[in-house]
Amino acid sequence: MALCWHLAAEMQFYVVSPIFLLSLLRWQRFGYSLASSIIILSGLTSFLITKRCNLIYGSFVQLDLYNDDLETFMDRFWMYCDKLYNKPYTRISSYLMGVLLGYHFYGKDFKDIRNRWTGYLNDGRDGIEFPVNRKYLVISILPAETDRVNLWRRDSSFIIELQIARIQKEKEQIEKEQRELVARKEREEKELAAKEREKERKLAAKEKEDK
């Protein structure tokens, strides 16, 4: 059950997501400011925890640096997981990047999805990195555990993109059917009105002949 932390984090994100979604839908500027502030705070939190606890970069690619002391590496690896990797407040930056990406695509024309702003927002997941020490964590502003979180954010954003594309396609299909229905009803009403006028004209002509 080692991955239960993932479910716990996602459940908490699911609970708070209406705050960000409603803010973006009703007060766009405030919504962007709120999400951006949380992303920055999450990055700073990761930075401070990493610095204060002197965490290593929690990846087995660093294992070669600890060949002489594997036990120390494992102790520090689990400390990294416990202090940083599993926490929702260090993970929410990834989720919010996905939310912003999804909102950016909401209502867009998917025929021209490859534009520069989409690229900027999508590439923003990579963060700004700078090395501290070869034996310690490569700290990044958004967020600390660079490669794993970016992969997680990339997957989340891709899922959101697919869902929005599907919803947009269904929406366009419904709108097309509604337009066709309205056009058909208008044609039927025009035909009925024309028949009524023709009927009235014939009736008037007949009455005139009778007189």
Are 83 and 32 in a shared domain?
yes
Q: Is the pLDDT of residue 130 over 50?
A: no
Cβ-based neighbour number of residue 177 at 10 Å:
10
Residue 133 inside a domain? The answer is no
Are 86 and 175 in a shared domain?
no
Nearest by Cα to 46 from 125, 138, 139, 134? 139
Upstream peptide bond of 88 is cis (omega within 30 degrees of 0) = no
DSSP character at residue 118: H
Number of domains observed in the structure of the chain: 2
Measured CA to CA, the distance from residue 81 to residue 144 in angstroms comes to 12
pLDDT of residue 151: 37
Are 10 and 104 in a shared domain?
yes
Are 151 and 57 in a shared domain?
no
Model-level pTM? 0.48
If one compares 69 and 6, the residue with the highest pLDDT of the two is: 6
Model confidence over 162-211: pLDDT tens digits?
555 566 677 778 888 888 888 888 888 888 888 888 888 878 777 777 66
Last residue of a domain, one of 57, 88, 109: 109
Are 146 and 140 contacting, i.e. CB atoms less than 8 angstroms apart?
Answer: yes
Last residue of a domain, one of 88, 109, 130: 109
Are 104 and 144 in a shared domain?
no
Structural domain boundaries, residue 62: 1-109
**Residue range 126-148: average pLDDT?**
38
Model confidence over 151-169: pLDDT tens digits?
344 444 445 555 555 666 7
